[in-house]
Amino acid sequence: MNALSSQSQQSLKNKRVLVGITGGIAAYKSAELVRLFSKAGAEVRVVMTPAATEFITPLTLQALSGNPVSQSLLDENAEMGMGHIELARWADLLIVAPATADFIARMNAGMANDLLTTLCLATTANIVLAPAMNEKMWLNPVTQKNLASLQEALPELQVFGPASGEQACGDVGFGRMLEPNQLFEMSLSLMQPSQSLLNQNIVITAGPTREAIDPVRYLSNHSSGKMGFALAEAAAQSGASVTLIAGPVNLPTPAGVQRINVTSADDMLREALAQLDSCDVFIGTAAVADYRPAQAANQKLKKDGQGTDLNLTLQENPDIIATVAQHPQRPERVIAFAAETQNVADYAHKKLTKKNVDAVVANDVSRQDIGFGADQNEILWVTASQTVTFGPASKLDVARFILNQLTTMDTTNDA
């Protein structure tokens, strides 16, 4: 466990967590999730669908949570104890793990034909879904449509995972439920404004760079800077001391963040290196221009009116993040972003090694709904040992997810 992760182990005393378990093989992992919440001091109650009881016994979960397990909407005894509406009100967090394709479909349809779907409709608590299913089921457009429509209807809903890896059915791909410790750590940030990054110095680059052609013209790109600014905001809220090195963007500086405005890749590199004395985490969200004009003209270039071509010689810019990651004062963590239009996971893995970074946050910028300029993002978090998807979600939620991943990264697994 690294210095960052030990700071995220906080007490959940006085917090009430309702764990919903549906009928998938990953249900056996929920026992560990319940144990983690209980151990952290939370009061835990478990609700199981009938199918879930085929995979793991209510007795196990009763023993681990220290509370009777609720299973039926129509159980008189249970209703006399803590009725379904009371249970819905009681929870600070409702986490459904695993959430099967069937459960997601029923929830999306607004069904209330069992206790767990009823609770999801009735609660005002944060709801988290941890999907787990066969890859084909996960990738099926019907499942994706159900999830997208659920997220549109419930913007506060969080979807954690699934991860990619070996599945119970023998397939390999997306659909594995996240590990209980990941679900636990990610849930922490929802229940308390965590100070998990207290005393951490985080440097974030954001936005595009502008490479001068002459005093009035430049080369640049469409980066809005929103993802980097969201990260700066979330990191500051988590107690970090944040320096945001921003290219030319039209965004307000998040509260508590120190902002350094830059124009070109060279400026950005200089400011980044100047921070390395006291930088624990470096996150490069900036869309740094790969090339700059080899020679910026001192005076405005004039056309000759004869239709003569103007040739610009471009020179490669320094790779800021690779320079930081190879620097003798390398921060403990260096995280790169990768905007791709195809083979996202593949390119992200290659970038991990090529740039010598600890994680790559990759997204598909060929999609209109996410990425450049959009308010939503869907990302792949790729480390040497892990590939996890998150979203679509607001860039602030994506930022919180990334910071949580960061605090739970284990140096022994991910170095």
Provide the binding-site residues for ligand C5P, judged by CB under 6 A.
205, 265, 284, 286, 288, 290, 317, 319-321, 336-338
Q: Can you list the alpha helix ranges (DSSP code H) found in 15-162?
A: 27-39, 58-65, 76-81, 84-90, 101-108, 115-122, 135-139, 141-153
Minimum gap (Å) between residue 382 Cβ and ligand C5P = 12
For residue 413, CA distances in Å to 308, 353, 386, 410 come to 58, 15, 9, 5
Active-site residue flag, 120: no
Which C-beta is closer to ligand C5P: that of 101 or that of 219?
A: 219
Alpha-carbon span 27 to 4, nearest angstrom: 29
Q: Which of 169, 172, 294, 415 is catalytic?
A: 169
Secondary element (H or E) of residue 401:
helix 395-408
Copy the structure tokens of residue 288. 């740094």
Minimum gap (Å) between residue 320 Cβ and ligand C5P = 3
Cβ contact 376:392 at 8 Å: yes
Which C-beta is closer to ligand C5P: that of 290 or that of 378?
A: 290
Which C-beta is closer to ligand C5P: that of 27 or that of 321?
A: 321
Alpha-carbon span 335 to 137, nearest angstrom: 31
Q: Say which residues have a Cβ less than 8 Å from residue 125's Cβ, sequence separation at least 6.
A: 18, 88, 91, 92, 93, 94
Helix (H, G, I), strand (E, B) or coil at 111: coil
Report strand pairing: 211-212 vs 218-219. antiparallel
Helix-helix angle 27-39:180-191, to 10 degrees: 50
Cα 409 off chain centre by: 13
Alpha-carbon span 412 to 404, nearest angstrom: 17
Which C-beta is closer to ligand C5P: that of 88 or that of 219?
A: 219
Which C-beta is closer to ligand C5P: that of 93 or that of 288?
A: 288
Closest CA to 400 of 250, 193, 98: 193
Which C-beta is closer to ligand C5P: that of 7 or that of 363?
A: 363
DSSP 194: -
Q: Which residues are catalytic, by number?
A: 169
